[in-house]
Amino acid sequence: MTPKFPIPDNELQRLAALKRYNILDTLPDHAFDDATKLVSYICGVPIAHISFIDESRQWFKSEIGIGVSEVPREISFCKYTIMESKMVEINDTFLNERFKDDPNVTGGFKVRFYAGVPLTTPDGFNIGTICAIDHVTKTLDENQRNALSIVAKHVISQLEVQTKNIELAAQKKIAERAVLAKDSFLANMSHEIRTPLNAIIGFTDLLAQTELDETQRDYIDSVQIAGENLLLIVNDILDLSKIESGNLTIDSEPFNLKKTLKHVYNLLKVKAHKEVEFNLFLDADMPDMVIGDQGRLNQILVNLIGNALKFTVEGDVTVSVKKVDETEDHYSLRFSVKDTGIGIPEDKLKTIFERFTQAEESTTRKFGGTGLGLNIVKQLVELQKSEIQVKSKEGRGSEFSFVLSYKKGDAKVDSVKTISKNDLGNLKILLCEDNVLNQKLAKSVVQNFGFELDIAENGEEGIELLTTNKYDLVLMDLQMPIKDGYQTTEYIRNEMKLDIPIIAMTAHSLVGEQERCYKVGMNAYVPKPFKQAVLLKAIKTVMSEDSDHGRRRIIDFSILDEMACGSPDFRKEMIDLFIEKIPSQTAQLEEAFKNEEHDTVKKLAHNMKSSLDIFMLSDLTNCLSIIEEEASFGEFTSESEDKIKILHCGIEETVKILKEL
């Protein structure tokens, strides 16, 4: 059957072009509605539209005075317009052979005047039209015709932009996925490398504490240095991936600046060549205590000083710190690392901060290094809202400097208690860890502290030991076969209902991992390779904590935020509503439960579930499901009684947290 409308020669390509824009059956759009209004104003007509014509219909993207979303192609006037390359203007349809008997001229839309411009894509296909229609005869003037053509062009560019935006969004998603893949690859690699490294460094540490002859001592020193260097490299790579993904944050904790500088100095002194004088100059009125990120300052200085010492074979390397400004609550300090080493050619001064670039290709061969250090330094300085400066003359030396602003610290925080182990008594500790080397290492360290240690090969074994013996504390590796650290903790908290302190130990440095640990109910987190002091501090912290303080609920706002579409007011309104409604509903539920009003309990429990869902309190929703189920059977057991209690505490805790927001 031949269709009752003319078909352009390039119909197939035309339809393909239309399809590319993904415009058919989309929601109304202001940009197109505005263009339609413009047509109606310009031409002074009551009817205007922007439409697209596919195989069988004319679909209106935007319309004024038409009131339907599509018409069959055969009755459309525009089926002719898309055959043209220019505007079609019919001043009086009664006088037009083609249209005078058309049902929409004699009746229907009562079209007396029609002007349509084809919407032509940049590659030359007429995919639709923009039209002005009136019930009376009319003639457009030259300006109106021009304006109509301009609006048509505008509509097509709008379409192009929208399509490009969609393409861009898709590309962006692909790129983001690639970044994610890279991040998780790096995190995994770092795990694989750091697990054995943890063992190497830890055992060397222990070995160094035993009695050794001079040669052995020398060997052990070398192993220690090599191990630490390797760790530095792995950490460099990890840091970089964290900086890149925006996940590296700058701490704000009080620390002793002078001590930090002296520590760095002592640490690096051994690396200075024999002929090099290594100095540390501290300004006399430099503060002792400041508030800022000690670890990152350490990292910056170790990198810069390490470089200076590496590239300087004679002369001196001088580290100096000077107070350049002081306000009521801030110090500005200038840090400088100056050497008389090989220097940097002028044309390389800019690129040395780029990744994997060193001043000379041969640098890596001669001096080693990853080529990441200065890039990390630069980014770390910038994260602390400053800028790194470099001055250098080839053959004469270099100076790197930067100014950091620190909040003034309280001097008395300086008296940090030295870690002593004896005030905890004899703790019985359970370690869940599958790696034999790490087991041995942890065992020696924990026994050094004077504590007792039992070892479980995996989570399931750990759970078994926990049921038969009494422990004061669990050290939990996260990656284990059978049951991993998260699953094991969830089981201990939810099934065994034990509130024994659990410390996560992990070589993973995955972003968000720490939050996840706390979320499943762990009390502390120690990254591997662990330092003895850090582990002991974590043990002391969890042992002295109130048990309820340690297991604070973390509320997941992701569904609420999704619903709120970025509106803080709405978010707050819902939180207020929760605070206002839920506690009283809980009280009603408890009352009805006491009176064994099964029907009321059932209805209340059911209704409350939807509220708790929004705040993703799935543990409490589960309680409600059990209560609801028992209510519908018409009989409450001790299980419901339990769940009512858990719900009561959970709601109280949640409301308290929400109120503190």
Partner 1 sequence: MRIILAEDNDILRKSLSFFLESKGFEVDHFSDGKDALEAIEKNNYDLILTDINMPGISGMEITQYVRETINSDVPIIILTSSGVEQTELDSFDIGANEFIAKPISPAVLLVRINKLLKIKA
Residues near partner 1 (CB under 8 A): 22, 25-27, 559-560, 562-565, 567, 570, 573-574, 577-578, 581, 603, 606-607, 609-611, 613-614, 616, 618, 621, 625, 628-629, 632
Integer CA distances (angstroms), 513 to 29, 34, 197, 462, in order: 42, 49, 20, 21
Contacts 24+ apart (CB under 8 A), 243-248: 243/376, 243/379, 243/380, 243/383, 244/179, 245/179, 245/183, 245/511, 247/511, 248/383
Nearest distance from C-beta of residue 170 to partner 1, angstroms = 11
Choose between 25 and 452: whose C-beta lies nearer to partner 1.
Answer: 25
492 neighbors 465 (Cβ within 8 angstroms): no
Backbone dihedral angles phi then psi of residue 247, each to the nearest 5 degrees: -100, 5
User: What's phi and psi for 135, nearest 5 deg?
Assistant: -90, -5
C-beta of 24: minimal distance to partner 1 in Å? 8
Bridge-based pairing of strands 428-432 and 452-456 is parallel
What's the closest the beta carbon of residue 572 comes to partner 1, in angstroms?
12
Q: Which C-beta is closer to partner 1: that of 13 or that of 26?
A: 26
Least spacing, CB of residue 30 vs partner 1, in Å: 10
Q: What is the Cα gyration radius of the chain?
A: 37
Please state the closest distance from residue 567 (CB atom) to partner 1, in A.
7
Please tell me the number of Cα atoms within 13 Å of 14 on its side-chain side: 19
CB of 574 vs partner 1, minimal distance in Å? 6
End-to-end, the C-alpha distance of the chain in Å comes to 69
The CA distances from residue 133 to 74, 266, 583, in Å, are: 18, 87, 62
Burial (0-12, 13-18, 19+ Cβ within 10 Å), 223:
middle
Of 217 and 572, the one with the shorter C-beta distance to partner 1 is: 572
Residue type, 596: E
For partner 1, the closer CB: 242 or 603: 603
Name the minimum Å distance from CB 609 to partner 1.
Answer: 6
Helix 214-244, helix 373-383: angle, nearest 10: 60
Q: Largest Cα–Cα distance in the chain?
A: 115
Shorter beta-carbon distance to partner 1: residue 238 or 620: 620
- Cβ–Cβ < 8 Å for 237, 370: yes
Residue placing its CB nearer to partner 1 in the complex, 273 or 606: 606
CB-nearer residue toward partner 1: 215 or 558: 558
Which residue lies nearer to partner 1 by CB, 503 or 605?
605
Q: In the complex, what is the shortest distance from the CB of residue 606 to partner 1, in angstroms, rounded to a whole number?
A: 6
